[in-house]
Amino acid sequence: MKSILISLKLLVRKDRKFYCLIKKITGITPVNAHYYHLAFLHKSLMRKDEQGAPLNNERLEYLGDAVLSAVVAHELFLRFPEKDEGALTKMRSRIVNRHNMNQLALKMGLNQLIRTQPLADMAQTHIPGDALEALIGAIYLDRGYKQTYRFILKKIINKQPNLISFVENDTNFKSLLIEWGQKNKCNIHFVTEEYPSQLANEMIFVAQAFINNKMLGEGEGSSKKEAQQNAACKALSNVSEIRELSLN
């Protein structure tokens, strides 16, 4: 009954479209709208509150990251009693890594709600994943731990069709490329440069992966590590060129 009354009140509000999107995406009826609006406010807008403090989603992201980590750790602990702490840690990191969180955020449609400076392609940034973590923080503050647990279970953990296969799939593309180079006696090296991004006070990294001094992969990222991983991934995908090099 309480939930119905809340829903009725939300329908008469000016931002009912926002509420409807939140409910559609999360399955949760917001009570305190402030948390959810804040969850999608990126720091690039340079907003401040009445006291002059920064008004963005970074604090909620910090909270959501901690709650997400705790929930995933708990669920993996229950599901895999035979795994030791090292394996569980690796499994958790695979689920909550930035690439996976970005992909999940985009599939949820969070890009419809994020407020930031205009971008050519939000999918090429870490903003969607950050917003998803901030949303988790908002749900936690608004509806409590149980509701947040259900959301993470349904929208993140259970979205992996085969959890074992997902967490054990090695996606450290840079390591894979270096191992391939050692096996095939090829020289592997990376060149990474830093450029100003479209967002205020942020930088973007562009990396190139070279095999035997031939550039076979280029990638971008919000960090040097992410850019090199993306470059290595593209280099590994050029199988025919790599094979030709290994024969020379």
Q: Which of 61, 133, 142, 226 is catalytic?
A: 133
CA 9 – CA 15 distance, rounded (Å): 11
- By the 10 Å C-beta count (0-12 exposed, 13-18 middle, 19+ buried), 63 is classed as middle
Residues recorded for the chain: 248
CA 137 – CA 24 distance, rounded (Å): 18
- State how beta strands 188-196 and 203-211 pair: antiparallel
CA 12 – CA 204 distance, rounded (Å): 42
Closest among 7, 18, 48 to 113, alpha carbons compared: 18
**133 is an active site residue:** yes
**226 is an active site residue:** no
Q: Which of 65, 75, 130, 226 is catalytic?
A: 65
- By the 10 Å C-beta count (0-12 exposed, 13-18 middle, 19+ buried), 231 is classed as buried
Written as six digits, the tokens of 17 are: 């479209």
CA 204 – CA 196 distance, rounded (Å): 6
Q: Which residues are known to be catalytic? A: 65, 133
